Structure 1
Amino acid sequence: MLNRRSVLLASLAAGVAMTNRAHARAAQPATPINFDVPAHACDCHTHIHGDVEKFPFFAGRVYTPEPASPEEMAALHKALHIERVVIVTPSVYGTDNSSTLFGMKARGATARGVAVIDDKTPESALDTMHQDGFRGIRLNLATGGVNDPNVGRPRFTAAVERMRTRGWHVQLYTTLTMISAIKDLVETAPVPVVFDHFGGLDASLGLEQPGFSDLVALVKSGKAYVKISGAYRSSKLAPDYQDMVPYARALITANADRIVWGTDWPHPDSSRVEGRKPTDIAPLYQIDDGRLLNQLPVWAPDAEVRKKILVDNPARLYGF
């Protein structure tokens, strides 16, 4: 059983509801890795939830996660035999990327970051972020009222235009419906486009579900990358998520040069739960990332393809 720890949250600084609940540690792998992980492998999707007194949450967030520290992340990647990491600013911080930067500095040269910005973020701040190792921005087009294509299309266009001269990529947390709605914009985008978590598909709906063929087409053409990450968000078949096999294989077969892998550690629960307020603590999912990584050889039996997914593609996309 995992050890427990009590974390004192500063309610005034962070706007977090105080509870007597002892907070769980972020998940650590319980299953040993059963294949040879290539040197310089990268986990392309993680988050850091720092000390809430130093890194207060955004008042407009829709959930409040438990803590997840750089030390815990280092232990995770030691167990997974993974050297490199991409840390993504989660929605709970709004446009404050300081917790992500904190995690990146703890990791050093083996870390890259993906930031959240808005139209008030000055170019000088982006220049500094680039020096610090940020290589992309993330748009959330799945929640909070922005899942309307009439909102998503102009937001995506504005993000692409802003990144055009910088060489950063635009990462999207979205749905297959939105991907279909912006497919034409992605096809002509002058910067790399990256879709989180299998493009937000629902494994129970089958390969013919609306939008999946558009995602595959964008990958096949080389116009988009997809993170084969967060399988538990698309599938209910824990712990091995067998129903994700055909989706992963379809995307990899379409273009193995446009696939990257990630844990989505520390596995925050951003779902809306009846009776749970945004300021209430949302427990982290306890996912066995060793077992999750062991699915990669099932999805990609060829070792050279796995090297592309874990090493070559991240090196190209994030500039390692």
Structure 2
Amino acid sequence: MLSRRQTLALALANGLALTGPPARAAGQAAAPTVKTAVSFPVPPGACDCHVHVIPDPAKFPFWEGRAYTPPVDPPESLLALQHALKLDRVVIVTPSVYGTDNAATLDGLRLLGPERARGVAVIGPRTGPAELDALAQAGIRGIRVNLEQAGVFDPAASAKALDSAVQQIGQRPWHLQVYSRLSVIGPLKQQLSALPVPVVFDHFAGAQAALGPDQPGFNDVLDLVRSGKAWVKLSGAYRASDKAPDYPDVTPLARALVAANPDRLVWGSDWPHPDSVPRPDRKPTDLAPAQDVDDGRLLDLLAVWVPERAIRDRILVENPKRLYDF
């Protein structure tokens, strides 16, 4: 049986009109992915630094070359999540399903407002200075370089992609958000440390929790973080570990990063948790149901990884404030 969230996604994806009671006001709607109340005091100004918004595809169509089709989760659902987790700020990242079209992200930034939201865009070689300036005006503070998309795992190709991105950024006070794996990051360590813009690694920099902190490439990430040359998002624990729901093997990775430099860490939920892994029985245009993830429990894990309240508050408030210019 489909959940209400999946039913809504299917209906919107097919352009159907739903009937039923009026939606509750923004901020009053339920947040179905928050099943556990957060047990630690969430500080004012706390930020979720990695989410996506997936509005009605009839208005914001998906890229034809996408690898999967996610359920609909519009900005109104994101705002409900923010209220449920007692978070005041958020960073919306353009997912790969839109290619280089950032319209959905920009719509989310507009609806949530400049006091609450910033964004990270995806650009292409034809994205010109005027468009980049418009993105900055709308609240974009970085661009995402996806080195996993289409199976690009070659360090040489990745090096070219990074150089191209830096050239496009120019003098804008932006950062590069890099989605990759350790086997690519390691060989690029020298280049990454010399880049003139901040580098932010998604999802524990692609580390696999089962291999522990001594896995090849993770020390390179720690060195970059320790020197202040790179940031890491403590996000997507379920991407690094299959030991749900508490992912205990992620704790050593998180604590190693905190020990290296807590001033270069931010936290993210990775909401709405689309199942982006290709499957032989699923076409890219088939709806890929969201993963069953408890966002309340995910935020609660931060208190396990970072038991010191002052450091935890820094990761949630001060670090995002500096990185995203809140």
Per the normalisation by structure 2, the TM-score is: 0.91
Counterpart CA distance in 2 for 1:185 and 1:219 is 14
In the TM superposition, residue 161 of structure 1 has moved relative to its aligned partner by: 2.4
Match of 1:187 in 2: 193
Q: What is the aligned-residue RMSD (CA, Å)?
A: 1.6
Q: What is the Cα deviation at residue 9 of structure 1?
A: 4.8
Match of 1:101 in 2: 106
Residue 180 of structure 1 and its aligned partner are, at CA, apart by 0.5
The CA distance in 2 between the partners of 1:9 and 1:178, in whole Å, is 38
Cα offset for 1:254?
A: 0.3
Q: Which residue in the other structure is 1:115 paired with?
A: 121
Taking the aligned partners of 1:50 and 1:26, their CA distance within structure 2 comes to 16
**Match for 1:82 among 80, 84, 87?**
87
- Give the aligned residue type for 2:62: F
Tell me how far apart the structure 2 counterparts of residues 161 and 30 of structure 1 sit (CA, whole Å).
44
Quote the residue 2:291 is aligned against. 285
SS at 2:266 equivalent: strand
* Cα shift readout 1:7-57 (whole Å, capped 9, x = no counterpart): 33566x9xxxxxxxxxxx985201001011111000000000010011000
Counterparts of 2:300 and 2:136, CA distance in 1: 33
Is the CA contact 1:137–1:168 (under 8 Å) kept in the aligned structure 2? yes
Give yes or no for contact 1:87–1:100 (8 Å, CA) kept in 2. yes
Would the alpha carbon gap of residues 148 and 242 (structure 1) be closer, same or farther in structure 2, given more than 3 Å must change? same
1:253 aligns with 2:256: no
Which residue pairs with 1:136 in the alignment?
142
Q: How many Å separate the matches in 2 of 1:61 and 1:227? A: 24
What CA distance in whole angstroms lies between the structure 2 residues aligned with 1:227 and 1:313?
11
Change (3 A) 1:10 1:265: closer
User: Secondary structure of 1:225's match?
Assistant: strand
Counterpart residue number, 1:175: 181
Query: Which residue of 306, 315, 322 corresponds with 1:316?
Result: 322
Equivalent residue in structure 2 for 1:272, among 275, 278, 293: 278
The amino acid that maps onto 2:313 is K
Q: Distance in 1 between matches of 2:212 and 2:303?
A: 22
Moved over 4 A (4+): none
- Answering whether residue 231 of structure 2 is matched by residue 225 of structure 1, we say yes
1:8 is aligned to: 11
Partner Cα distance (1:78, 1:226) in 2: 25
* Structure-1 separation of matches of 2:73 and 2:13: 16
TM-score (norm 1): 0.93
Structure 2 residue 105 is matched with structure 1 residue 71 = no
- Equivalent-residue separation in structure 2 for 1:307 and 1:273 (angstroms): 39
- Counterpart CA distance in 2 for 1:99 and 1:62 is 18
Over 3 Å counting, the alpha-carbon distance change for 1:27 and 1:91 in structure 2 is: farther
SS in 2 for 1:65: coil
Instruction: State the alpha-carbon separation in 2 of the partners of residues 164 and 223 from structure 1.
Output: 18
Residues 10 and 262 of structure 1: CA distance in aligned 2, closer, same or farther (over 3 Å): closer
- The answer to whether the 8 Å contact 1:137/1:169 transfers is yes
Q: Work out whether residues 208 and 241 of structure 2, in 8 Å CA contact, stay in contact via their aligned partners in 1.
A: yes
1:34 paired with 2:34, answer no
- 1:203 and 1:71 mapped to 2: Cα distance? 33
1:199 to 202, 205, 214: 205
Q: How many angstroms apart in 1 are the aligned matches of 2:153 and 2:31? A: 29
AA matched with 1:260: V
**Alignment deviations for residues 182-223 of structure 1 (CA, whole Å, 9 cap, x no partner):** 111111011010000000111111221110100111100000
Counterpart for residue 297 of structure 1: 303
CA contact (8 A) 1:47 1:264 kept: yes
Question: 1:21: which partner in 2?
Answer: none
Distance 1:121 1:27 in 2: 37
Aligned length: 308
